Structure 1
Amino acid sequence: LNWLGVDVESLRPTHINKLHLTTQSGKSTYANLPLGGFGISRYTLDNYLYQLLLNSGVTVFQESVTDVQFDEDLFTVKTTNNMTFTAKQVIGAYGKRSALDIKLDRPFIKKKAPFLGVKAHYKGGFPDDIVALHNFKGGYCGVSKVEDDKINICYLADYETFKEYKNIESYQQNVLMKNKVLKDILQRSELLFEAPITISQLSFGAKQAVTNHVLMVGDAAGLIHPLCGNGMAMAFHGAKIVSETLIAYLNRDIKSRAELEKKYTKIWNKTFNSRLKTGSILSSLLQREILTDFLINVITKMPWLLKQIIKRTHGKPLLGND
């Protein structure tokens, strides 16, 4: 980010270097995070990047894309306000799940997704330097601090478990708070949102990095699992890959669209596939209480194992010229 001229420190992020992992039964362990990270909200970071774009002379259209068509080596993009754009290349950076996925006939969108995501900011006491992962029946909850002393609490829940309860508050009281550490955090924290934000139909199944010639990035290319490290960092890394590959194509260093798509897919898979698969395996383990307790017991006795898990899910430091 510094290489791009992004001054993250001006946004007053927290600096995170420890992981705290707990189970519903009370098992607990800590680990250092060698690469570290910073805590900042998507809203603050997105707005900062938006202002950077405006200051650089970029025109931003506040539109929702409804359709993308490709014909005779040219894209046509349509929006909700009947605007039409043409472009030599389109990048899909629209997140986890969109009506565009239906338009593009992506296979994953046809499958029933079993997970629900819930997120909110809170006011309360929590260490600045820790990211916590608290397990509960049917899911797990991440807790960390972001800018302005706010606590970011988000959790992934199995929809079958969630639908047994009338609302989020009831679910949290009856399911999440069975984990005593999580119960203590929630009871000592005050909700800053009017209501938590929910995202349904979360699928961690495989996606394609290229669909109908659109180059996908971030969650649109493959849903970045909470256990794969810093999701925003992975999204930035993916954006760097697509930018560099696309520049090579526009400069004619890559000779054809077919070569562009093949190269981008190869680099994306090499960079992220292993981490996403490891995260998926860990997610399956954390949804089974007995296996989670066993895993915590093992890594408590063998700390090197947790270090290897962190290494396999967090990747390597990304430098500007990498």
Structure 2
Amino acid sequence: MQFQTEILIIGGGLAGLTAALHLNKLGFEVVLLEKSSYPHHKVCGEYISNEVLPYFTWLGIDLKNLAPTQITNLQFTSASGKYVNAVLPLGGFGLSRYSIDYYLYNLAINRGVNIIHQKVDRVVYVEDQFVVETTSGTSFEARYVLGAYGKRSAIDVKLERNFINQKSPYLAIKAHYKSNFPNNLVSLNNYSGGYCGISKVENDVLNVCYLANYESFKKHKDIQAYQENVLYQNKNLKNILQEAEMVFDAPLTISQISFHKKEPVFNHVLMIGDTAGLIHPLCGNGMAMAIHSAKIVSELIQKRTENKTSRNSLENEYTANWQKLFGSRLKLGRILSMILQHKTYERLAINSITAMPFVLRKIIKHTHGQPIKMKN
């Protein structure tokens, strides 16, 4: 079976669904391929900076019925027991991926986006045209392909992307809990071998998502043992997790998390969200970046269509815009990771932040963007 479309999006997460809604609003024919059914949970920090709100308004996305938590404050705690508090300049909100992805999916369906639940097997670019084949035997021809399939995929292996062969020492673990944790707070907690982000989402549920070094993790028999022997070394984490009651039957996990540099464009596929670059969770802004990247690529596709510019011009402009908006954030995240994994450097960094709170404010400023500007 074979289909033709203007734009094919591989992956129906936050970036893919947002791009589908944007391109659909511009009048493009869009097909989105997603291997999983909705709704489903994902390993994610589930905090979104308010910088996305003007863009959501333009797209006609109204999240108030999902009852997101309103987050105004940040707390950072170190493995040594010190902590620093700060006000988030723009603030943000907490929503589970279960809720927001399902909402965007239904919105896209209602607006006429063709969403097909099949797994992509192969992507080929020949003579200014893509052919995308699924494991179900369906073939799609498309003028543009957007890669929105997440952090790591078999597609990356088949495309032979550069980062895929580099060592990926991290895994991520996430679960929801019932807890008395403050609704307006996002807490970032450093511990030996990783980081843990904690904040409320809808329905008074606490999201706990942490990044663990695999070499450290495998020394323990299970997740509970790892938490008790490693995460509990951070007193703040110990107090929160001991008091909380898990809602999930079992935590979700994903492995081979890589923060190596990726290409925003590879083999003419326009990559968005985590597929283009994964920001360190310590920066707490990956969801907003995924949403923003969907806007950038959608506007550039429209620009090329209107101005009849070359594909190379589109790809070069997208790469430049990605680097301008997100390059420094990704780099700072990698630097912070290296500092906080070294005990001596971590102690010096925490002492500096404690003595000079403006340092933390500068870090927040450089890892969060400004409100996304929309054209009239």
TM-score, normalised to structure 1, is: 0.97
Are 2:232 and 1:180 aligned? Answer: no
> What is the percent sequence identity of the aligned residues?
55
Taking the aligned partners of 2:99 and 2:344, their CA distance within structure 1 comes to 39
Are 2:113 and 1:58 aligned? Answer: yes
Taking the aligned partners of 1:62 and 1:316, their CA distance within structure 2 comes to 35
Counterpart for residue 225 of structure 1: 280
Are 2:56 and 1:23 aligned? Answer: no
Counterpart for residue 113 of structure 1: 168
Counterpart for residue 312 of structure 2: 258
Offset from partner CA, 1:129-153 (integer Å, 9 cap, x none): 1100111111110000000111000
Structure 2 counterparts to residues 158-173 of structure 1, below 5 A: 158-173=213-228
Select which of 87, 110, 131 maps to 1:32: 87
**C-alpha contact 1:24 1:289 (8 A) present in aligned 2:** no
Taking the aligned partners of 2:373 and 2:277, their CA distance within structure 1 comes to 23
Offset from partner CA, 1:236-278 (integer Å, 9 cap, x none): 0000000001111122x25111111111111111110001000
Are 2:250 and 1:201 aligned? Answer: no
Paired letter, 2:319: T
**C-alpha contact 2:70 2:93 (8 A) present in aligned 1:** yes
SS in 1 for 2:57: coil
Are 2:375 and 1:321 aligned? Answer: yes
Are 2:182 and 1:127 aligned? Answer: yes
Offset from partner CA, 1:36-68 (integer Å, 9 cap, x none): 100001110000000111111122101111111
| Alignment length (residue pairs) | 321
**C-alpha contact 2:170 2:255 (8 A) present in aligned 1:** yes
Counterpart for residue 191 of structure 2: 136
Select which of 271, 275, 290 maps to 1:235: 290
TM-score, normalised to structure 2, is: 0.83
Are 2:199 and 1:148 aligned? Answer: no
Higher RCO (CA-CA < 8 Å; seq separation 6+):
2
Instruction: Structure 1: give runs of 5+ residues left out of the alignment.
Output: none
Q: Give the Å deviation of 1:292.
A: 2.0
Taking the aligned partners of 1:126 and 1:263, their CA distance within structure 2 comes to 43
Query: Would the alpha carbon gap of residues 178 and 254 (structure 1) be closer, same or farther in structure 2, given more than 3 Å must change?
Result: farther
Taking the aligned partners of 1:229 and 1:138, their CA distance within structure 2 comes to 18
Taking the aligned partners of 1:72 and 1:147, their CA distance within structure 2 comes to 47
Paired letter, 1:297: N
Taking the aligned partners of 2:347 and 2:85, their CA distance within structure 1 comes to 14
Are 2:161 and 1:103 aligned? Answer: no
Select which of 307, 323, 347 maps to 1:293: 347
Taking the aligned partners of 2:375 and 2:328, their CA distance within structure 1 comes to 23
Are 2:57 and 1:12 aligned? Answer: no
Cα root mean square deviation, aligned: 1.2
Paired letter, 2:132: V
Q: Give the Å deviation of 1:291.
A: 2.1
Q: Which stretches of structure 1, 4 residues or longer, exceed 6 Å deviation after superposition? A: none
SS in 2 for 1:298: helix
